[in-house]
Amino acid sequence: MIRVPAEQQGVLSEAWRACVGTGRLELALRRDYQDSLTLLQKEIGFRHIRGHGLFSDGMGVYRPYEWQGARRVHHSFTYVDQVVDACLELGIRPFLELGFMPGELASGGQTVFWWQGNVTPPSSHREWADLVRATLTHLVDRYGLEEVRDWPVEVWNEPDLPDFWEGADQAAYHRLYEVTAHAVKDVDASLQVGGPAVSPGADEGWLGRFAEFVERRDLPVDFVSRHAYTSGPAQPVPFGTYQTLAPAERLLEQFGAPRRELKGTSLAELPVHITEFNSSYRPDNPVHDTAFHAAYLAPVLAAGGDLVDSFSYWTFSDMFEEVGVPTALFHGGFGLLTHRQVRKPTYHLYAFMARMGRDVLARGDDHLVTRHPDGRVTVLAWAPPRTDLHTLRLSVPVGDTERGTVFLRRSSVDEERGNAYTAWRRMGSPRSPRPHQLDMLHDAAEPGRSHLRLAIEEFRVDVDLTLQRHEVTLVELSPVIEESPDWWDESRILGGGGSG
Amino acid sequence: MIRVPAEQQGVLSEAWRACVGTGRLELALRRDYQDSLTLLQKEIGFRHIRGHGLFSDGMGVYRPYEWQGARRVHHSFTYVDQVVDACLELGIRPFLELGFMPGELASGGQTVFWWQGNVTPPSSHREWADLVRATLTHLVDRYGLEEVRDWPVEVWNEPDLPDFWEGADQAAYHRLYEVTAHAVKDVDASLQVGGPAVSPGADEGWLGRFAEFVERRDLPVDFVSRHAYTSGPAQPVPFGTYQTLAPAERLLEQFGAPRRELKGTSLAELPVHITEFNSSYRPDNPVHDTAFHAAYLAPVLAAGGDLVDSFSYWTFSDMFEEVGVPTALFHGGFGLLTHRQVRKPTYHLYAFMARMGRDVLARGDDHLVTRHPDGRVTVLAWAPPRTDLHTLRLSVPVGDTERGTVFLRRSSVDEERGNAYTAWRRMGSPRSPRPHQLDMLHDAAEPGRSHLRLAIEEFRVDVDLTLQRHEVTLVELSPVIEESPDWWDESRILGGGGSG
Amino acid sequence: MIRVPAEQQGVLSEAWRACVGTGRLELALRRDYQDSLTLLQKEIGFRHIRGHGLFSDGMGVYRPYEWQGARRVHHSFTYVDQVVDACLELGIRPFLELGFMPGELASGGQTVFWWQGNVTPPSSHREWADLVRATLTHLVDRYGLEEVRDWPVEVWNEPDLPDFWEGADQAAYHRLYEVTAHAVKDVDASLQVGGPAVSPGADEGWLGRFAEFVERRDLPVDFVSRHAYTSGPAQPVPFGTYQTLAPAERLLEQFGAPRRELKGTSLAELPVHITEFNSSYRPDNPVHDTAFHAAYLAPVLAAGGDLVDSFSYWTFSDMFEEVGVPTALFHGGFGLLTHRQVRKPTYHLYAFMARMGRDVLARGDDHLVTRHPDGRVTVLAWAPPRTDLHTLRLSVPVGDTERGTVFLRRSSVDEERGNAYTAWRRMGSPRSPRPHQLDMLHDAAEPGRSHLRLAIEEFRVDVDLTLQRHEVTLVELSPVIEESPDWWDESRILGGGGSG
Amino acid sequence: MIRVPAEQQGVLSEAWRACVGTGRLELALRRDYQDSLTLLQKEIGFRHIRGHGLFSDGMGVYRPYEWQGARRVHHSFTYVDQVVDACLELGIRPFLELGFMPGELASGGQTVFWWQGNVTPPSSHREWADLVRATLTHLVDRYGLEEVRDWPVEVWNEPDLPDFWEGADQAAYHRLYEVTAHAVKDVDASLQVGGPAVSPGADEGWLGRFAEFVERRDLPVDFVSRHAYTSGPAQPVPFGTYQTLAPAERLLEQFGAPRRELKGTSLAELPVHITEFNSSYRPDNPVHDTAFHAAYLAPVLAAGGDLVDSFSYWTFSDMFEEVGVPTALFHGGFGLLTHRQVRKPTYHLYAFMARMGRDVLARGDDHLVTRHPDGRVTVLAWAPPRTDLHTLRLSVPVGDTERGTVFLRRSSVDEERGNAYTAWRRMGSPRSPRPHQLDMLHDAAEPGRSHLRLAIEEFRVDVDLTLQRHEVTLVELSPVIEESPDWWDESRILGGGGSG
């Protein structure tokens, strides 16, 4: 029996929902994407959203042309505005990632992904700076400085990987950073700019050398960013990948890396954003669809906020095309939601987190206990990976009532409950489910719910939890105000013994 | 083990959803009412809706006035049109009940209900006929004859009870019927008119004497109507009532009464509409809120269509004010839905019925088995009242596949599952629940869902059902088309053994 | 030519939209009402809403009962919560009027209106105080003190009229005020209470004697309230009333009355709320439906905020039943909107006001000029009543551009434009319009719109306005940022001269 | 004065709305696209929708892979299903165009458009046939044969142009047609297949040789298709094109071409579908945005149905990317609607057509008169291109009332009214309008409306129309049923002469 203290031990950081990842921004034009984002914002409520491809050709921003013999450039925001309008309307703000390179501004032809993002440096740094300035200026004009000041601006994505930045050329990245940071600050000094958005594979020197560079050149930098993943090498099958996974604590270690590596530099005190994290970095690894995945990430969500200012789940929706158009409803996509808004177990983990209170009362290997300002206590608990049954007993303080009762509501996802993936497998893995199958999948994705009443003894209740394999469970406790009248007699209700 | 035949035994009549009852028509102007009706129509889909008070003062139809010394009458349809427009927009048609009496046309002051419906004969039968004609003419003008022809017109409500018709005066009712039936047919001979809408307490002579009267006077009559209830005398408590209940088969007996009583008369072959039925006739008997109630009515819904052309559950929503404004969310109202659209167990019984197929394969004391045109088989099963565990084993034919598998989805309501009432009691019976409590009640009202895969043996699967106390369960069987690829290997998904 | 100063002359008070009136609160349960409120809040955005009948029987709040021989009282908030939830969801807050008397708490049987509001003092002031306390306590529990503190609480309605308060008994009102004010402050001292909500017919002594009474008894009072109307005696026709109207400035005189009358008393500095105003106090005077009405009220809206803290248009919707259920779409109702959301000219006056800027640049007999924070200038102009053509020339400052152009958009309502009433008359005054007629009425209610470009000369443009009979017009000026490219050649667009 | 006959002269064919064009199908995944389609279907109601790119890579249908050394192909319908589901939900059905070539099935690398549709023949006709069969089989499985039978299947697009079909190779097209037609009929003989979808530039022999080929090979062919455009050579400017236009009657000539050319062949009696038509074939010609364009096309819509079974406006929305992402709200796109649903004049032409009756009473160079089943008469009239004022006088029969009055409603678009393009130009042509500018554009796009009452003389009214430059106007006439009461006295309404 773990005795949860009645006194607050700390505050639950909002870092877990400070940001979420998305497929390339062009996808935000889609209806399914926006339907998913609507649901997400209603039930979870992320603060920012970050994705690739702001400047990729599909967004149509950089538009050179000839007129009367001269070359000129339009900067066009037709789609940028549609995307940003949609996000703001749903209460989520851009975390701007500046990239990839417009085809006509690129110095080379190397691309990444099925959708061919160009990953080469600009052929003209002056034109790149114009593009950045024009974009930020437009956003400030349209949405107001007050608003845009709250959108971090990150320079490029994973420049330490040759797939994402031609030759993983550090000097070229530093130059891009310098030009970009100045361009951003030209628009307004209060805009936040940062980088270097390195991958978990970045050698240990990257962050340090970035610090050294910005220090030496006295460049503006408002935050530091890095990614985190824990999967092993990809073992491909058609339209899918299997991988090993390191234990979840490795994610937390990676979250801690920037502060460790930047200790002693002038960047040491800056906000740190993990601008992407997940178990596997593959958008076709079925692990993302499982209850295991929710149980695996639960301790990361519970603790990550101690280490960084944000850690952004990569990504909220399976509307994602880096390896092509998905060929089946469940295909191992990163999404918290499948196409057509079927909620995966990890979605529920986030939705459960969104119901936790501000004040932390206790935290352990398998649980987190919080209290809301109005006194309601909530418990998030999770089973250790690959364990069949797991028990947890908590003595929970429930406020200033010595006696009385508490209403306990429990919501669970595991291998059976809140698990559309299991249902889908049993249905025969229909690649493009029929409407009636989709309805069943939506039902199957509902968490299991149960409730009971507990007696308070000396300001506390005992909460005994048995967790099924890969269960993540949310327990919500509210004091009962009994309004049932004196004359209520359950035994007289059912009309028994009647002869009519 | 019950062996369900593979051959169709009959067709499932739509009588169970041919009509549903409602609180007085004026309530149809309300948002909560329309929200409930929207949900109802989406998930169940009734054909007609019937309620009191079309001509009561709250609808503002009969509007006499003086001008230049003469008395004239406006017939005003401001609210009638708003009500009918809303219904038709939601795909449900009026089953018109003509009554009660406009205050200014009434011959006396007797009223019924908290909302004071006047139950006295008209002071002028000529003006009453004008009112009926004007109303039907207006409806035909606005909605078209094709449409209105499909709306049965019933003359008054329960004239055999002195509470609903002054003195339960049969001769006065017959006169009203005569005047009304002629007025209806004056508008168009194809409109359907009927009565006498008697209560279950009507002495055995009422229907016969009605037949005799219409025969003697050669009056038009297109259908016969009656009500059915099974509760004993009311045992009042504040804002509530307890009652005994007769067994559910008494409802079916009552359904059969009109045909038995009219045998040999000229009305013998007419359609019979049970224009109201329920267990208790009290809108404040908590039995309506229970799982027991769903299990009690399940055999009635399964079999009622053999006896009558419609039987109309009284009523779809707790938005109902015959004994005053409800003082608590759960208050024993008739509604399938509470205010704010919490679904009661009996709602789910109807929603389960709406998922049954057209062809009946088997019917028993505790089950109904049907097949859809596309071959899917569905089973509705229910526990006998007040039994703790009940088992049922069925061998179900699943079509023309000798081998293979079937996906089984089971949805259940009982004392715990699909039962917001139980949750509400545990919460302390909050009379006006807070938003977060309402959310929990909506969740608690979701049926329990489970699914599994069954192996087909010789074109059949064995379905073993254990039913909890007062469980009503829906089992849906669909053949599995296996699309899972060769390379799928569940054991490789969870990333086990990885060192990252 | 009027030269509008470039410098701000003052700030446009929000008093004009601080509050709006409504039919009795029970009507807020209705769908049409909520649809109207939704539109209103989207296009105008009132802050508070005030209506009668919070405690009338239709709301079902006061619920005495007997149990075990004792009399007890439930205070029930089933409908209050539905009403307040709906308002808050639409961004409008209650301005609570405490009244009328629950039938079972009344000392007498006198009622007002078709819907029979009881206007007699409580039979028990203790139970009345309990009712008030229970209601405020419930609201604070449900919505939070922070929220409810912003809802003024007004004691009763027009107690100076014998129709609204038995015998117009001043002493009885003072007693009610005392008991009520204490009950409100018992719940929380920060709640705002006030009165005496007198009619324009109140003799001059009422306000002074109210001040004297609260002073003498040292009673809490946070604001003073009064009503304002300008119509003469009612000349009834069936379902309608004609009346003479005093000039609109009489409304402003009435707005000023409380401060004049309370000068020198301890109430002199309190906020003043005109909790009802309109031209005619009759809900069946067709003047409310006309363009004349908008032109008549325009100067009142433009200037009222100088005199009082709020002036509340009585009422936003024709969903209103004081003289019975309306018998025709246009029936002279108070509403800014008819049933089914047809916008009347006065609605547009309010919608135009909602587009005005914060800073007042000029104000005249026929115009108001304002500027938005972003520099856009707006002009509201109106024709004097019963004048066929009216001209107005303004030289308007448009910011810091010496040259360039301005885009002018003009929106007008008059006898033809933005005038569904005129269209409805031409259609034959259909009492219950068919759907296609309603569509046409909605179209006919759209303001006339036109636009043009004006050249800036020395930071100014000349705006020449000719107003039609009873026109109210909104002129919106925005500087043009010309983005049209060099190569645009309108003459080449239409494909002229082509031989294909 | 033109005397419109009272007798029906014919029936207005639905060919004008039998089909509408769309940008490539992938765009149907977008929210803005679906919002536009929703509006379109509500106000116009097309029957079918046709666009390119069903098999292009963005739809992700053809998905070859290797497994255990063998090459296999998945046919994947993730996006196809999302697109078709969305269309059917909005009441519009696919007109299937089979093309372009999946990259991995292509025999060459030639592409068309910014979005790179591959226009080369299949590298394997067997695999192409598999693809066609798999697609049709899937659609029939999902939507039912009854439904899919109503979706014409067209083989490729404009194979007579080397830009759309490598080398405009006729023999290769014939081979593709043969393989495809057989594949379609393999799925079900009742599916409709046709071609050859030739451009207006097809030399006269194409259709004849197609007929000859299918005859010789005895191939199934259920309809013949062709395109129609009237613009001259493109005169490019940056992001735009100017062109001359042939007179509109040339479009009608082109509509007639297939029947003329196929006379005497076995295809002579087949349905003819003009699967694309417009003035200019360029998606960046500003003519599409003008009032001129509506007036130009009005006679085509009025008469086209005499010549063909469908003529499909290319396209309904500016969400279209053949020459790249649009750089400004108005950019000369084909759309009836801009991005964000601003309605263009040609949209209104279609919306006016949708209000016309079934029976044609008269047709002229500048007008079309029809009658609805309920007797209402509607007139569509248009000004000749480039004429400043145009008058038209009609004597219109209004049914069986000799006397009485008629309500006339007139809706107009011209250079000022219903013309957001003009407003946008005056605003400075903002490329990405701000929200308040968009609101003004939506307002500016509303047709001008007016109404009046006309006296009937001998069953007729005189309708005098003066049309402004490029006006298209809809006149709707309904008999007035006068419900205005005796006592209505407009002169007493305005409260005149009052002293209050």
Give the model confidence (pLDDT) of C416-465 as tens digits: 999 999 999 999 999 999 999 999 999 999 999 999 999 999 999 999 99
pLDDT of B370 higher than 50: yes
Closest CA to D469 of D399, D375, D390, D364: D390
Number of independent structural domains in chain B: 2
- Note whether A78 contacts D34, CB cutoff 8 Å: no
* pLDDT tens-place string over residues A441-468: 999 999 999 999 999 999 999 999 999 9
Handedness of CA A380, A384, A390, A392 (dihedral sign): negative
Q: What is the mean pLDDT of chain C?
A: 96
Q: What is the spatial distance between Cα C337 and Cα C346, in angstroms, rounded to a whole number?
A: 9
SS3 B36: helix
- The C-alpha atoms of residue A12 and residue A376 are separated, in whole angstroms, by 15
CA A177 – CA A129 distance, rounded (Å): 10
Q: Is the CB of residue A196 less than 8 Å from the CB of residue A177?
A: yes
Instruction: Specify whether B299 is located in the same domain as B424.
Output: no
Same domain? For D291 and D363 the reply is no
Tell me what pLDDT residue C498 has: 44
Show the tokens assigned to B90.
């939601």
A246 close contact with B: CB closer than 8 A = yes
A368 DSSP β-pair partners = A363, A380
- C53/A486: higher pLDDT: C53
My answer on whether C346 and C404 are in the same domain is: no
C494 to chain B, any CB pair closer than 8 A? The answer is: no
Which chains form contacts with chain A, at 3 or more CB pairs under 8 Å? B, C, D
Contact A324 D63 (CB under 8 A): yes
Q: Which of D436, D492, D499 to mutate to test the interface with C (most CBs of C within 10 A)?
A: D492
**Sheet holding A460-468: strands in order across?**
A2-3, A389-397, A460-468
Give me the catalytic one of C97, C154, C158, C166.
Answer: C158
Task: Transcribe B261-311 into DSSP letters.
Answer: HHTTSTTTTS-EEEEEEES-S-TT-GGGGSHHHHHHHHHHHHHGGGT-SEE
Residue B73 class from Cβ within 10 Å (0-12 exposed, 13-18 middle, 19+ buried)? Answer: middle
Note whether residue B148 is domain-resident: yes
C99 and C157 in contact (C-beta within 8 Å)? yes
Distance CA D97, CA D164 (A): 13
Of the residues A484, A486, A488, the best mutation for testing chain B's interface (the one with the most B CB atoms within 10 Å of its CB) is A484
In a domain, A372, yes or no: yes
Test D484 with C386 for CB contact under 8 angstroms. no
For residue C250, what is the nearest residue in chain D, using CA coordinates?
Answer: D500
How does the average pLDDT of chain D come out, rounded? 96
User: Would you say B181 and B221 are in contact if contact means Cβ atoms under 8 Å apart?
Assistant: yes
The amino acid at residue A176 is L
Whether residue A264 lies inside any domain: the answer is yes
CB D362 within 8 A of CB D377: no
Per the DSSP assignment, residues forming a β-bridge with B51 are: B22
Structure tokens that stand for A406 in this block: 């508490």
∠ CA B99-B101-B102 to the nearest 5 degrees?
A: 120
- Within an 8 Å CB–CB cutoff, is residue A266 touching chain D? no
- The pLDDT of residue C490 is 84
Residues 187 to 226 of B: which have CB under 8 A from any A CB? none
Instruction: Let me know whether C314 and C398 are in one domain.
Output: no
CATH code of B370's domain: 2.60.40.1500
Considering the domain architecture, whether residues D186 and D110 belong to the same structural domain is answered as: yes
Whether the CB-CB separation of A271 and A19 falls below 8 Å is answered with: no
Q: Quick check: is C486 in a domain?
A: no
CA-to-CA distance for A215 and B100, rounded, in angstroms?
87
- Do you find a cis peptide bond into B100, omega within 30 degrees of 0? yes
Q: What is the pLDDT of residue B496?
A: 72
In 3D space, the residue among D370, D323, D317, D311 whose CA is nearest the CA of residue D346 turns out to be: D317
CATH of the domain at D220: 3.20.20.80
Q: In D92-238, which ranges are continuous DSSP H helix?
A: 125-143, 145-148, 170-187, 205-217
* A234 contacts: CB under 8 Å, gap ≥ 6: A241, A242, A243, A282
Give the residue from A324, A354, A384 where a domain finishes. Answer: A354
**A488 at the C interface (CB within 8 A)?**
no
Provide φ and ψ at C269, rounded to 5°.
-95, 0
pLDDT at D482: 95
What pLDDT was estimated at residue A500? 32
Amino acid B128 reads: W
- Residues D256, D204 within the same domain: yes
Burial (CB < 10 A; 0-12, 13-18, 19+), residue D452, is middle
D140 in contact with A at a CB cutoff of 8 Å? no
Q: Where are the beta strands (DSSP E) in C32-168?
A: 48-51, 62-67, 70-75, 93-94, 96-98, 111-112, 117-118, 153-155
Written as six digits, the tokens of B136 are 């039907």
C436 and C455 housed in the same domain: yes
Q: Are residues B347 and B407 in the same domain?
A: no
| Whether the predicted pLDDT of B499 surpasses 60 | no
The predicted pLDDT at position B180 comes to 98
Burial of C189 (0-12, 13-18, 19+ CB in 10 A): exposed
Contact between residue D120 and residue D110 where contact means Cβ atoms under 8 Å apart: yes
Nearest residue of A to residue C74, measured between CA atoms: A485
Q: Where is D421: in which H helix or E strand?
A: helix D420-426
pLDDT at B202: 87
Q: Is A348 exposed, middle or buried (0-12, 13-18, 19+ CB in 10 A)?
A: buried
Q: Does B291 share its domain with B409?
A: no
In angstroms, rounded to a whole number, what is the distance separating the alpha carbons of residues D412 and D414? 7
Of C428, C488, C490, the CB nearest to D480: C428
Eight-class DSSP state of A99: -
pLDDT tens-digit readout, A85-124:
999 999 999 999 999 999 999 999 999 999 999 999 999 9
The pLDDT of residue C225 is above 60: yes
Do residue A428 and residue B480 have CB atoms under 8 angstroms apart?
Answer: yes
Q: What is the mean pLDDT of residues A251-276?
A: 96
Vertex C53: Cα angle to C50 and C55 (nearest 5): 120
Q: Is A82 on the interface with D (CB under 8 A)?
A: yes
pLDDT score recorded for residue C497: 52
How distant is the Cα of D263 from the closest Cα of chain C, in angstroms?
A: 26
Average pLDDT score over chain B: 96
Q: Does B488 touch chain D (CB under 8 A)?
A: no
Is the minimum CB–CB distance between D487 and chain B shorter than 8 Å?
A: yes
Query: Which residue among B322, B354, B386 closes a domain?
Result: B354
Q: Does D488 touch chain B (CB under 8 A)?
A: no
For helices B170-187 and B205-216, what crossing angle results, to 10°?
A: 50
Answer yes or no: do B278 and B342 share one domain: yes
- What is the percent of chain A with per-residue pLDDT over 90, rounded to a whole number? 94
pLDDT in the model for residue D497: 52
Tell me the chain A residues in contact with residue D238 when contact means C-beta distances shorter than 8 Å: 65-67, 72, 74
Query: Alpha-carbon distance B197 to A458, whole Å?
Result: 60
Cα–Cα dist B394/B379, whole Å: 9
CB-CB under 8 Å, D484 with C292: no
Type and span of the H or E element at C209: helix C205-216
Interchain proximity D326–A77, CB inside 8 Å: no
Query: What is the pLDDT averaged over residues A407-421?
Result: 98
- In a shared domain, residues B344 and B446: no
Question: CA angle, corner D233, sides to D228 and D239, nearest 5?
Answer: 100
Residue A499, pLDDT above cutoff 60: no
Residues A317 and A375 in one domain: no
The values of phi and psi at residue D171, to 5°, are: -60, -40
Of B29, B65, B339, the CB nearest to C30: B29
In 3-state terms chain C splits into helix, strand, coil percentages (rounded to 5) of 30, 25, 40
CA distance D29 to chain A (A): 5
Pairing status of strand C359-364 against strand C10-11? antiparallel
Q: Is B483 a catalytic residue?
A: no
Residue D313 to residue D344: CA distance in whole angstroms = 14
Please tell me the distance from the alpha carbon of residue B430 to that of residue C73, in angstroms, as a whole number: 17
Please give the sequence-ordered ranges of beta strands (E in DSSP) within A352-415, or none if there are none.
359-364, 367-371, 377-382, 389-397, 405-413
A416 touches chain B (CB under 8 A): yes
Q: Residue C110: what residue type? A: Q
Residue D151 distance to chain B (closest CA, Å): 23
State the smallest CA–CA distance between residue A41 and chain B in angstroms.
Answer: 17
Percent of chain B at pLDDT exceeding 90: 94
Q: Looking at the predicted structure, is the pLDDT value of residue B435 above 80? A: yes
pLDDT digits (tens, 9 = 90+) for A358-393: 999 999 999 999 999 999 999 999 999 989 999 999
B497 has pLDDT over 60: no
Nearest-by-Cβ selection for C432 from B65, B78, B326: B78
Q: How many CA atoms lie within 13 A of A110 on its CB side?
A: 13
- Contacting residues of A for D325, CB less than 8 Å apart: 58-60, 76, 78-79
As a whole number, mean pLDDT of residues D309-317 equals 98
Per-residue model confidence as pLDDT tens digits over A276-296: 999 999 999 999 999 999 999
- Give the model's pLDDT for residue C204: 78
Give residue C496's pLDDT: 72
Say yes or no: C434 contacts chain B, CB-CB below 8 A. yes
D204 catalytic? Reply is no
Nearest-angstrom CA–CA distance, C272 and C307: 8
Instruction: For residue D487, tell me if it sits in a domain.
Output: no
Which residue among C276, C322, C471, C476 is the active-site one?
A: C276
Task: For an interface test with A, give the residue of D29, D35, D62 to mutate (most A CBs within 10 A).
Answer: D29
- Disruptive mutation site among B62, B431, B439 for chain C (greatest number of C CBs within 10 Å): B431
pLDDT at B33 over 80: yes
| Token pair for B388 | 């703790």
The pLDDT tens digits for C113-122 are 999 999 999 9
Q: Is C498 close to D245, i.e. CB distance below 8 A?
A: yes
Q: Please check whether residue C323 touches B, CB under 8 A.
A: no
Tens digit of pLDDT for each residue in D114-165? 999 999 999 999 999 999 999 999 999 999 999 999 999 999 999 999 999 9
Q: Residue D500 above 80 pLDDT?
A: no
What are the residues whose beta carbons fall under 8 Å from the beta carbon of A141, sequence distance 6 or more?
Answer: none
DSSP strand pairing (B193-198 vs B223-229) = parallel
* D425 within a domain of the structure (yes/no): yes
Q: What is the mean pLDDT of residues D254-275?
A: 96
Instruction: Show residues of chain A in contact with C487, CB under 8 Å.
Output: 67
**In the block, residue with structure tokens 């559910």:** B248
Both tokens of residue D255? 């509509």
Window 268-307 of D, Cβ < 8 Å to C? 279-280, 285-287, 290, 292
Last residue within a domain, chosen from A298, A324, A354: A354
Whole-number Cα distances in Å, C353 to C314, C371, C399, C443, C461: 17, 12, 21, 21, 22
What rounded mean pLDDT belongs to chain A?
A: 96
Range of the domain at D374: 2-7+358-479
Cross-chain residue pair C325–B238, CB shorter than 8 Å = no
* pLDDT at D205 exceeding the cut of 70: yes
| A324 close to D (CB below 8 A) | yes
pLDDT (mean) for B387-393: 95
The distance from CA B458 to its chain's CA centroid, rounded to whole angstroms, is: 40
Cβ(B215)–Cβ(B298) under 8 Å? Answer: no
Determine, yes or no, domain membership for B107. Answer: yes
Is A328 a member of any domain?
Answer: yes
CA dihedral C95, C97, C103, C107 (to 10 degrees): 160
Contacts of D among chains (3+ CB pairs under 8 A):
A, B, C
Q: Tokens for A260?
A: 């460790």
Which segments within A95-232 are labelled E, that is strand?
A: 96-98, 111-112, 117-118, 153-155, 193-198, 223-228
